[in-house]
Amino acid sequence: MVFNHKKYLWLVALFLFFLPFSSEAKADSSLKIDYEEAAFTAPATLSIATSTVADLSWEWHSLSSAFDYSFATAGFYDPSRPLTIRIDYGETNNYLKQIFSFDSSSQTWRPLLTKDYPDAHYATAVTDSTNGRLAIFVSPDILTVGSASWYKFKNGLFAASPDFAKGTILRVHNQNNGKTVDVTINDFGPERALHPDRVVDLDYVAFAKIASPSAGLIPVFVETIKAVPVDIKKVEPVETPAQTETASVPNLTASSAVIMLEKTGKIIWGKDEKKVAPLASLTKLVAMKVFMDLKPNLKKAVTYKTADEKYNNKYCAPGESAKLKVKEGETMTIENLLYSALVGSANNAVESLVRVSGLKRDKFIAAMNTAVKKWGAKDTHFVEPTGLSASNVSSPYDYAIISKEVFKTAKLKDISTTKSYTFKTINTKKSHTVKNTNQLVRSNTYPIIGSKTGYLEEAGYCLMTRVSTPQGNIIAVNFGSKSQAANFSDNAQLIRYGRVQLKK
C-alpha cells in the first residue's frame, strides 16, 4: 500500500489469512501507524502481521494481539519525524495500559511512553523504529479511570494515590468538562478498601482547577506524565521477561515467602513457605505482644541499665547491634521503649522491657514460645527475645499466623507503622529519634497496617507487612532476601501479587 500524501495506515486484525501466524489472534484489536509525509524520502509500504501474545507477567496482562510491522521503501526514513502508533483494545478497561515494543536482540519487551484514551478504547505511543513487534498490556493493580475527591493538605498541585509512587506526575482529566490538571503524588490514599473506584484524592487547590469543590466527587481518568517506579528507588527495576519466559508468579531473591489472606488463613501464594530458618528481628513483635498482654502502664518511667546490653553482647560485639543510645540511669517511659524496640529495632530496648515486665527473663521467653504454639505456629522457637540469636527460628507460614495474632493488639499495629518517633529522656532531657527500618512504611507506597524488618547474617534480610485491600487484609512475609534493597523489592512484589490475585 503506497501513499504520496500524508500516510495514514489502518490494519484490522480480521486479515488473519494474510499472516503466517496463529488464527487465534484477537479479532477486536487493531494497529494504526500515522506519520508525516516528509518522514520517508520515497513512498513506503507498510506490512503488518498479527499473532497471539501471552501475558508478560502476573503484573502485565495482554490486551491486544501482537503486531509485527515493517516499512519497505526505496528511500530513507528520517528518525527525527517519529511514527505515531495507535492500538485499539476494543473493550472498556479502567486500569493502566502500556504499549510495549519487543527488543529482539535481548528478547525483552520494553515499555513505550503511552497515552491512553479509555473512552475511545485505544492507546498511542511514538517510535522511530520502522519495524518491530508491538502489543498493549494492562496492569490490573493500577486504577486509572474512576472518581476523585479533594482534601486540604499542602495547598498546591498535589494528589494522593494508592497506586502511583510518590513523585509521579499525573494529568487528571475531569470527564464532565474536559478540564485537566497536572499533579504530583505526595501522599498515600484514598484507601481502596473503603473507596474501590477512587483513583486519586486531589489537593483542594488542584481540584479547584478542574471543578468546583462543592461538587465533592467527580469522574476522572489519569495519565502518567512522569513515572516513578513503584518499588523502592534503590532497587533497579527488573526487566520485563521475554514472552517465551513469562513470569506468572513473583520473582524473588528471598529463599522463602508467603502471602496469606488474614481473615481466612488462605495461602494466596508461597515459596517454600514452611521452610524453617532464623527470623532475626521479626522476633521482636512476639516479645512485644507478650509484653503488652501483661497490661503494662505505658506512661510508667523506667530507669535504663547498661546491664541490659549484656544479653545483646552474647550474640554480637558491642556496637554491632541496633540500640537506643542512652546511658546508665537515664529515665524514659515504657512507651518510649516500645517505639524504640519496634520502630528502630533497638535490641537493648527489648531487654529493658523484659526486665521491667514482671517476669523473669527465662519465664518471659517461655511465654513467647507458649504463645506461638497456642496460635498454631508449630515450627517457631525462641531462645532470646530480640532476634540476635540464629537459634530463634520460624517460617514465613508460621510468621503469617503469628502476625495475625500480634496485630489483634492495636497499639502494636500503630507503633510498627510509625515512620519516625521522637522522645526526650525524662531526667536528662536528651532528645532521641528513631526511624522505621521498613522503607516501604517510610515511602508510604502501600496501605501498610503492620510491619517488621529483620536482618541477621544467618537469616539474610526478612520482612513482614500487613496490608489493607478491598478483599481483606493480606500478610506478606519473605525470609532470606539477598540485600536490604531486595528485601523491600521482594515484599513489594508480594503485596502487588496478592492484590492482583484477590481481584480475580
pLDDT in tens, 397-409: 999 999 999 999 9
Query: If you ran DSSP here, which 8-state letter would residue 442 be given?
Result: H
Q: Work out the pLDDT band at 256, boundaries 50, 70, 90.
A: very high
CA atoms of 49 and 63, how far apart (whole Å): 17
Q: How far is CA 137 from the centre of its chain?
A: 19
> What was the pLDDT predicted at 29?
61
What is the pLDDT, as a whole number, of residue 432?
A: 97
Domain boundaries of the chain, sorted by first residue: 7-140, 144-226, 256-503
Task: Kindly state the cell numbers that stand for 359.
Answer: 517476669
pLDDT, one tens digit per residue, over 157-179 is: 999 999 888 899 999 999 999 99
Which three cell numbers, joined as nine digits, stand for 427?
A: 531526667
Closest CA to 177 of 209, 205, 224: 209
Contact of 461 with 455, CB cutoff 8 Å = yes
- Condensed to tens digits (0 to 9), the pLDDT of residues 61-96 reads 999 999 999 999 999 999 999 999 999 998 899 999
The residues near 337 (Cβ < 8 Å, ≥ 6 apart) are 302, 324, 349, 352, 353
Quick one: pLDDT band at residue 26, thresholds 50, 70, 90?
very low
Average pLDDT over residues 126-151: 95
Asked, colleague to colleague, whether 7-140 and 144-226 share their fold, the answer is: no
Return the number of other C-beta atoms located less than 10 Å from residue 476's C-beta.
31
Q: What is the mean pLDDT of residues 263-280?
A: 98
Does 194 score more than 90 pLDDT? no
* CB 497, CB 249: distance < 8 Å: yes
Pairwise CA distance, residues 141 & 15, whole Å: 33
DSSP β-bridge partners for residue 430:
none
Mean predicted confidence (pLDDT) in 279-290: 98
The CATH number corresponding to 7-140 among 2.60.220.50, 1.10.357.10, 3.90.1300.10, 2.70.70.10 equals: 2.60.220.50
Query: Among residues 63, 89, 65, which one has the least CA distance to residue 13?
Result: 65
- Each residue of 343-384: pLDDT tens digit? 999 999 999 999 999 999 999 999 999 999 999 999 999 999
237 vs 252: which has the higher pLDDT: 252
Amino acid identity at 311: Y
**Helix-strand-coil percent breakdown of the chain, rounded to 5?**
25, 35, 45
Q: What is the pLDDT of residue 160?
A: 94
> d(Cα 499, Cα 476) in Å, to the nearest integer?
11
List the one residue out of 114, 121, 124 whose CA is nearest residue 93. 121
**Residue 276 pLDDT more than 90?**
yes
Q: What SS3 string covers 137-152?
A: EEEEEEECEEEEEEEC
pLDDT band at 487; cut points 50, 70, 90: very high
Average pLDDT in the chain: 89
User: Is pLDDT above 80 for 203?
Assistant: yes
Burial of 250 (0-12, 13-18, 19+ CB in 10 A): buried
**Model confidence pLDDT, tens digit, residues 411-439:** 999 999 999 999 999 999 999 999 999 99
CATH superfamily of 256-503: DD-peptidase/beta-lactamase superfamily (3.40.710.10)
Cα–Cα nearest to 224, from 112, 322, 384: 112
Residue 235 has pLDDT above 60, yes or no: no
Cell of 21: 501466524
**Residue 492, CB-side half-sphere exposure with 13 Å CA sphere:** 26
pLDDT of residue 247: 67
336-357: buried (b, 16+ CB within 10 Å) or exposed (e) per residue? bbbbbbbbbbbbbbbbbbbbbb
Identify the burial level of 19 via C-beta atoms within 10 angstroms of its C-beta, where 0-12 means exposed, 13-18 middle and 19 or more buried: middle
Contact in structure between 175 and 221 (CB atoms under 8 Å): yes
Among 26-35, 53-62, 371-380, 488-497, whose mean pLDDT is lowest? Answer: 26-35
> In whole angstroms, what is the distance from residue 420 CA to residue 472 CA?
27
Neighbour-count burial for 264-302, b at 16+ CB within 10 Å, e otherwise? eeeebbbbbbebbbbbbbbbbbbbbbbbbeeebeeeeeb
Helices (H), 211-346: 283-292, 309-312, 334-342
> Are the C-beta atoms of 258 and 396 separated by less than 8 Å?
yes
Please give the Cα distance from 383 to 392 (Å, whole number): 6
What are the residues facing 9 on neighbouring strands?
33
pLDDT at residue 27 greater than cutoff 70 = no
Mean pLDDT of 318-330: 91
Nine-digit cell at 261? 489472606
Give, in words, the CATH class of 144-226: mainly beta
Identify the residue whose cell numbers are 487528571.
172
User: In angstroms, what is the C-alpha Rg of the chain?
Assistant: 27
**What's the CA gap between 296 and 290, in Å, rounded?**
11
User: Is it true that the peptide bond before 111 is cis, omega within 30 degrees of 0?
Assistant: no
Residue 237: strand pairing partners: none
